[in-house]
Amino acid sequence: MKLATFNINGIKARIEALPRWLEAAKPDAVALQEIKSVDESFPRQMFEDMGFRVETHGQKGFNGVAILSRLPLEDITRGLPGDDSDEQARWIEATVMGERAVRLCGLYLPNGNPAPGPKYDYKLAWMARMKTRVAELLLTEEPLVIAGDYNVIPQPEDAANPMAWADDALFLSTTRAAFREIVNLGLTDAFRACNQAPGQYSFWDYQAGAWEKNNGIRIDHLLLSPQAADLLRDCRIDREVRAEERPSDHVPVWIGLAA
């Protein structure tokens, strides 16, 4: 089973690039972030014609997550539990029914800048809610993949220039500590389990020649439960997607599971 995460930075802007990548990469299921579309406006028919089931949790102009799957999906839920007043569309779950069922959570974790401030408080509160939800899901002892744009730089080696991010909400010690609390529930960072070499990133700013200089950061992650980690065969970053016309500022990251 091939599962991927891809922050597309707007479905309208990526209406041609995303189908090309799906045809080339052939994921069984992909968690999308920043679709920036309400559910009714998402171009569902295009992806259904390609053989995908489409589940969205949209929001006008901002945020928005989705799952596209060539395999059947069951038990779809939308929204991160723990705060009924939270209207931001950042979390979606579904069980991907392959030879072995895998619970896939797609997330777009808050950026949190400027920090300190209300946006950073929201980020940390959201991560606390996520930790609670992940702990609940781990109790099922079933394969679990939590995939998305975490807006977290876990370690200095995950940034080309760590000092440039020293005061950013993505790299503050409190952010990384909250991320470690989630990982320490018993999750595996799929990419680092398969790749230890430096200079491997999933996001590059559009400005200042960041892509050409490989001045990037790794903030798109797939965290695996022990049951999913046992199935892990590979994890890679599709860097070449950045060379596409009108690319997103992120590129896809995918895993191969023996499931």
Active site residues per annotation: 108, 149
> CB-hemisphere CA count at 13 Å for 162?
11
Which amino acid is residue 119, in one-letter code?
K
Tokens linked to 240? 């070449």
Cβ-contact 183, 146 below 8 angstroms: no
Q: Which of 88, 105, 175, 177 has its CA nearest to residue 140?
A: 105
Q: Which of 74, 78, 75, 70 is nearest to 38 (CA)?
A: 78
Return the ∠ at Cα 107 (arms to 103 and 108), rounded to 5°. 170
Strand pairing class (29-33; 91-97): unpaired
**CA separation for the pair 220, 238 (Å, rounded):** 12
